[in-house]
Chain A
Amino acid sequence: MLGRRKPILRRFKTIKGAMMYSFSVLIIVALVIFWWIAYNYTKDTVFNNSIAYSSQIVKQVNSDIDSYINYMENISLIIMESKDVQDFLFENKSAEELVDARQRIISQIDTIRSSRDDIVNIAILSECGHVIVNQGIEGLNPYIEKESNQWYVDTLRAEDGVNISSSHVQNLIRSSYDWVITLSRMIENQQTGFVEGIFFIDLNYESISNLCNNSVMGESGYIFIIDEHGGIIYHPQQQLLYGELREEKIQEVLYSNQDYMLVEERDKNRLYTMYQSEKTNWTVVSVAYIDELLTYKDAAQVWYTIVTILLIVATVVISNMIARILSRPIGELQNAMDTVVKGEFKEVEVKIEDENELGALSKSFNIMTERIANLIDQNKFEQEEKRKSELRALQSQINPHFLYNTLDSIIWMSAARKNDEVVEMTSALSKLFRQSISNDNEELTIREEIEYVRNYLTIQKMRYADKLSYEFHVVDEIMEESIIKFALQPLVENTIYHGLKYKKEGGLLKVKGWFEKDQNRIVIELEDNGVGMTKEALQNIFKEKKIDHKKNGVGVLNVQRRLQLAYGIDYGIHYASEEGVGTVVTMHIPRREIIHES
C-alpha cells in the first residue's frame, strides 16, 4: 500500500494547487538554504573582517609608536652629537668653559622641550656626577640610586646603546613622580671609549596611551601594549590589573605564535590581535569582544532574515498569481469540456490567450468541437434526407399488390358493367394517388391523412364488400392538427390484412380521433373486431424481420420509427390485442401546428 502511494504532486485536485504548492515549497526551501548560507557566511566574514581590521589597527598603532620613538631618538641624537655634551661630561675644561657648555646644552634642551608637550624631562648624567636636568634647576633625587632603576641598567647593557623603558614612575628626578616612558642612550667617552654617561628623554605616558585610545575597538574593546618581558607599557585598566581586580592574558599573548587568538571565558569571548614591533620589541595587542563584533553580524543577520521572509512572501504570492494565470486556460478548457459532455457543442468556443501548449490545446479543442457540431448537423441533415427518401419509397411502395388488386377489381366491375362502382373505385384510387404525390411535405393535416385513409378504405370496402365496414369518429377539433404523412394508412392496411381479412363477415374498423387535453396530445385509435393477434405476434409486431414485404410493403415498425423520429420517444403507437376479439392500435402525437418545410 505504502509503496504504491501516488506522487504528492499527483494528489492535488487542481494543477493550480500543485503548482502553487510545489512553487511555494521550492521557493521556501531555496530561500531558507540561501538564508542559512548567508547567515553563516556573515558570521565567518564578520569574524574574519574583525581579525583583519584588528590587525590593521594594531599595525597602525605599532607604526605610530615606532615613528614616534624614531622621532624621539632623532631628537636625542641632536643633543647627543653636539660637542658640548662631550665637553661638559668628560673634558677637563675650565669652570667657565664648563658653565658655557652647560648653558648651551640647557638652551638646546629648552628649545626642544618648549616645542613639544609630550616631553616631560630631558637629562644628561655622567658617572662622575655631572648632571643636567631640563633647565638645570631640578636635580636628582638624592635618596634614589640610579642603578635601582631597571631602565638605567638596561641602557648600559644595550647593544646599540639605546633603551626604551616600560611605563614607570620617574623617581630619579627630585620632586617629580611622573608616569613616563624613558628613552635613554648611553654616552661613550670618546677619549676612553668607555660608557661613562647616560642621556634620557622622559616621554609623557599619555603620548603613548593616546595613540592606543585613538583606535576604537568596538564599544568596550581596547588596546594595550606590553614589552618583551610581559611588562605592561600601557593598559587602559592597568590599575585594575595591579589591584588584582582583573586579569589580562599577558603570558598567553607573549607565548602565542599566531597574530591573533581567541580567549573564551564564561560568556565573554574575546579576540586578541597582536603585533610585535621590531624596533621597540613592544607588542601591541588589541582586544575586541566577540559579542560586540557580532552585533554587526546580528544586524546583518536580522536584515537577511527580514529580507528572506519578505522574499518568501513576495515570491509565494507572485508564484501563486503565476500559477493562477497559467492554469486559467485549463479551467476554461475544463468548463468547456463539461459543457460538451452535457451534449452542447455550439457556443463552447474557448478563448485563446496563450501561444503555448495550452493555447494549442484550446485551439484543437475548438476545432474539434466545431467539427463535431458540423458532423451532428450533417448527420441530422442526412437523417432528414433519409426520411424523405424513405417517404418517397413508401409512396412508391404502396402500390404493386394493392394496385393490381384494385385494377383487377375495376376490370371485374367493368366486365360486370357496374359503371357506378367503377367510377367510384377509380375515383378513389385516383384521389389516393393524387394525395400521395401531391406534395413533398412530410407533414399534413389530420384531415388530409384521414381523407387519404377514407379513400383507401373506400377501395378496400369495394373489394371486400360485406367483410369490411368502417366508421370514422374523429372530432373536428383535431382535424387541422398536423401529422406525419402515411402515419395512418399503413396501420389501417395492417389491420385489414392481419385482422379483418380472416374474418368471414361483419368486420368493423373504427377510426377514432380526439384530443387529450390533460396530456396535451392527440389520440387516434384504430379499433377492429378482427381475429386479433397471438401474444407472440403482438410481441413481434415491432420487429423488423416479421414485416412481410410481399403482403405489406410498409411495416408497423416503419410508422413507429417515423413517429418517434418526428415527435420523440414519448409518442408513437401502441398495440393491444386479444385473439378472436380484436385489436386496438392507439397512436399518440403531440398537438402542434403544421410546419411546412421549404
Chain B
Amino acid sequence: MKVSKREMILNTIFIIGCIGILVSAIYMMNVSKSREYKVVLVLKTSETMDFWINLISGAHMGAELYGVDFEIRAVDVETDVEGQIELIKETMVDAPDALLITSSTYSDLTPILEEIIETGVRVVLVDSIIDKDIVDSVVATDNVLAGEKIGRYAASLIEEGDIIGVISHIEDSSTAIERELGLRKGLGVKENCIIDVQFCYSSYERAEELTKEMILQYPNISMVIGLNDNATIGAGRAIKELGMGTQIRMVGIDASMEMIRYIEEGICDGIIVQKAFNMGFLGVEQAVKILMGDEVEAFIDSGCELITRDNLYEIENQKMLFPFQDKNLN
C-alpha cells in the first residue's frame, strides 16, 4: 500500500512534468509557425507610369506590413486581353492564396475569374471592375466621383456656352463609362458644353492627334478634358505644341511627371490624381483580411485628389505625385 502510494505521487509528478514540457514545446512551435499567405498581383500593363509605380509600391508596403509572400506579374500592354488570361492561368500553377487583378476588360476576364474563384482562390479586383459581382472585394477609385470632381472643377473654370472636348480612353471600359458619367454630373448644367467625346485607346499619340483634330474642328473650343493618363498627356502635348496654353483650358484625370510640368507651366489647370499607392496598399490589405477570415467591404474607394498649381507642392500631395522609387539613385 505504502509503496504504491509513493509511486503514485512520483508518477503524478512525472506526468505533470511531461505534460508541462509538451505543452510548452507545442506553444513554442505555434509561436514560430505562423502561416505566410501568397498573394500575386496581376497587372494589366508593364508600363512604368507613375500611377503603376505608386500602386506597386503601395502593394509592396502592404505586403511588407502584413508579412505576405508577394509577387507581381504583368502583361506588356493593356490591350492584350488574351495575354492577361494566359498570365492568370500561369499564375494559378503556383497556387496563390489570393490574386489581385487589375482587369484590362470589363467582361472578358469574367469566365477565367469565375473558374479561379471556384477553386477557392480569393480574388480582389484593383483599379477596375468587371461585369459580374463574383469577386471578394474591389479596391478602386470611385470613378464616378473622380469624374464628378473634375467636372465640378471644370465647371468653375468655364462659362455657360463654352465648348468642351473630351478625350476618353477605351470606349466600353468601365472606367471610361463611369468617369464620363461623373464628369457630366459634375458639370451640372454645363454638361451640354461637351461637344465631342473621342477615344484614344490608351495611346498618347492618338490622344494628341484627336486633340489637335478637335481644336481644328472647333476653333473656339475653350476646354479639353482628358479622362485617363494617356488622354490627358496627349491633350497636354497637343496644346503645348500648338502654343494654346493660354487660350484653351485643360483638366484631366491621372498624373505623371509630364502632367506636373504642364501644371507648372500653366498649360494644365488641374488634374485628378488617383491615390494609386493607397490602391495597391488597400488591395493587399483586403486580400489579407479576406484570407484571415475577416469581414470586408465589397467596394473600397481608394480616393482621388484634385491637384492644381496652388496645392501642387503641398507636402501631402508631393508624396502622392512624386514616388521615390530608385529615381533618386540616378
Chain A contacts to B: CB under 8 angstroms: 13-14, 16-17, 20-21, 24, 117, 120, 141, 143-144, 148-149, 166, 168-169, 171, 175, 177-180, 204-206, 220, 231-232, 237-240, 242-243, 245, 295, 298-299, 302, 305-306, 309-310, 312-313, 316-317, 320
Q: A309, B31: Cβ atoms under 8 Å?
A: no
At the interface, yes or no: B289 with Cβ under 8 Å from chain A?
Answer: no
Q: Mark B133-169, 1 if CB is under 8 A from A, else 0.
A: 0000000000000000000000000000000000000
Q: Which of B84-92, B205-213, B233-241, B257-265 contacts A (4 or more CB under 8 A)?
A: B257-265
Q: Which of B10-18, B40-48, B72-80, B215-223 contacts A (4 or more CB under 8 A)?
A: B10-18
**Main SS class of interface, B:** helix
**Total A-B pairs in contact (CB under 8 Å)?**
111
Hey, which chain A residues are within 8 Å of B318, CB to CB?
168-169
Using known A-B contacts A13-B2, A302-B27, A312-B17, determine if residue A178 contacts B315 with beta carbons closer than 8 Å: no
Q: B9, A239: Cβ atoms under 8 Å?
A: no
Q: A240, B6: Cβ atoms under 8 Å?
A: no
Q: Mark B297-330, 1 if CB is under 8 A from A, else 0.
A: 0000001000000000101101111101001110
Q: B264, A242: Cβ atoms under 8 Å?
A: no
Q: Per a CB cutoff under 8 Å, which of B17, B28, B277, B278 touches A299?
A: B28
Interchain residue pairs with CB less than 8 A apart (30):
A17-B2, A20-B6, A20-B9, A21-B9, A24-B9, A117-B329, A143-B264, A168-B313, A169-B313, A204-B329, A206-B324, A206-B328, A232-B315, A239-B57, A239-B277, A239-B281, A240-B61, A240-B277, A242-B319, A243-B275, A243-B277, A243-B281, A243-B319, A299-B28, A305-B24, A306-B24, A312-B17, A316-B13, A317-B10, A317-B14
Hey, which chain B residues are within 8 Å of A24, CB to CB?
9, 13
Interface centre among A178, A206, A243, A312 (most CB of B within 10 A): A243
Q: How many Å from the CB of A160 to the closest CB on chain B?
A: 25
Hey, which chain A residues are within 8 Å of B112, CB to CB?
none
Hey, which chain A residues are within 8 Å of B6, CB to CB?
16-17, 20, 320
At the interface, yes or no: B282 with Cβ under 8 Å from chain A?
Answer: yes
Hey, which chain A residues are within 8 Å of B21, CB to CB?
306, 309-310
Q: Bound complex: CA of A446 vs CA of B303, how far in Å?
A: 137
Hey, which chain B residues are within 8 Å of A178, CB to CB?
327-328
Q: Bound complex: CA of A16 vs CA of B324, how far in Å?
A: 77
Q: How many Å from the CB of B166 to the closest CB on chain A?
A: 27
Number of B residues whose C-beta is below 8 Å from A?
45
Q: How many Å from the CB of A309 to the closest CB on chain B?
A: 4
Q: A309, B20: Cβ atoms under 8 Å?
A: yes
Q: Mark B232-269, 1 if CB is under 8 A from A, else 0.
A: 00000000000000000000000001001100111000
Q: B324, A179: Cβ atoms under 8 Å?
A: yes
Q: Bound complex: CA of A20 vs CA of B8, how far in Å?
A: 12
Q: Bound complex: CA of A120 vs CA of B16, how far in Å?
A: 67
Q: Per a CB cutoff under 8 Å, which of A17, A206, A313 touches B17?
A: A313
